[in-house]
Amino acid sequence: MPETPSAPPVATLRLAGRDEVGRTPDWATRPLPPEAREPAAVARLADLLRAHPGTLVLSGAGMSTDSGIPDYRGRDGTRRVMPMQHGEFCASSENRQRYWARSFVGWQRFSRAEPNRGHHAVAALQEAGLLGPVITQNVDGLHQAAGSHDVTELHGTLAEVVCLTCGDRSGREELQARMAAANPGFEERVRGEAPDGSQVSSQIRPDGDVVLPEDAVAGFRLPLCLVCGADTLKPDVVFFGGSVPRERVDACFALTDAAPALLVLGSSLAVMSGLRFVRHAARRGIPVAAVTRGPTRGDEHMALRVDAPLAPTLEQLLRDGAAA
């Protein structure tokens, strides 16, 4: 049995905090200012972007919901599902087996997701000069697929895999092919109804895995590192309880310091790794705005809130900006 990897050194930002399925955090019950839902809110945001060209973007899971990748929370801030924890993944081969079995099935759908109108609007707003670099909390690569540039993937990318034992890196598509060869017919055997009565194939999550019954994963053959033979392959993403690499954190703080303004898109800011940049901007007097449905954990730091669907709002911003 390969030796269980230890957790990496603590870095600046850690995905942690008191959180559980079905729990609605206190910040999510705070009422939004009435002007956040006014039609004029989008016009005010357009004015802010024109006054602060090159505004930094911080995007979250809500950015990709129109691409068929659900977020972890409802509009009321209540957590629907709990993702794999970093310590849980590192603790045992059985936990890694469960993750990779679920991810193997989920990748079939996750990898086919395409950028939605919101992603394309962000790229167009960049091209128009209204928006600048993008910090995304998402791991799906859809901003880049839509044509956005200067994208920092705060939590990593599902398109790459790293061995926690030897550090070797490889592509997710290559690993998918190896898992398919080692587990012929697995997806067909598990496809059907999940314990909650919904279809397994409909259970994709933001980190690319799906819901599978525990007994379904028992026979899944865990992929091994081609370099050292350990079963400690991990998607190159930051799991909850894990740490964002220090150099990436520093780069994001530098982007925030240089930003004329900060625009949050599709994030409740429930996780400190994103909220910290909002707080940092506010402390430095950098205007912060957000377009997302429902309250966010950082609303008290916002100069402007827009509670409206992302894609139509971003497209309206593009029209307003182009007409200016």
CA distance 64 to 310: 10
CA distance 272 to 286: 19
DSSP letter for 303, please: S
Annotated active-site residue in 52, 86, 120, 155: 155
The 3-state secondary structure of 134-145, one letter per residue? EEECCCCCHHHH
Backbone angle region of 266, left / alpha / beta, with phi > 0 → left and psi within -120 to 50 → alpha: left
CA distances from 251 to 59, 133, 152, 158, 281 (A): 16, 11, 9, 20, 14
CA distance 241 to 272: 11
CA distance 286 to 269: 17
Contact (CB, 8 A) for 84 and 207: yes
Burial of 169 (0-12, 13-18, 19+ CB in 10 A): exposed
**What is the b/e burial string over 229-254, where b = at least 16 CB atoms within 10 angstroms of the residue's CB?**
ebbbbbbbbbbbbbbbbeebbeebbe
Contact (CB, 8 A) for 232 and 92: no
Q: For residue 95, which of 224, 4, 156 has the smallest C-alpha distance?
A: 4
Q: Give catalytic status of residue 149 as yes or no.
A: no
Task: Give catalytic residue positions.
Answer: 155
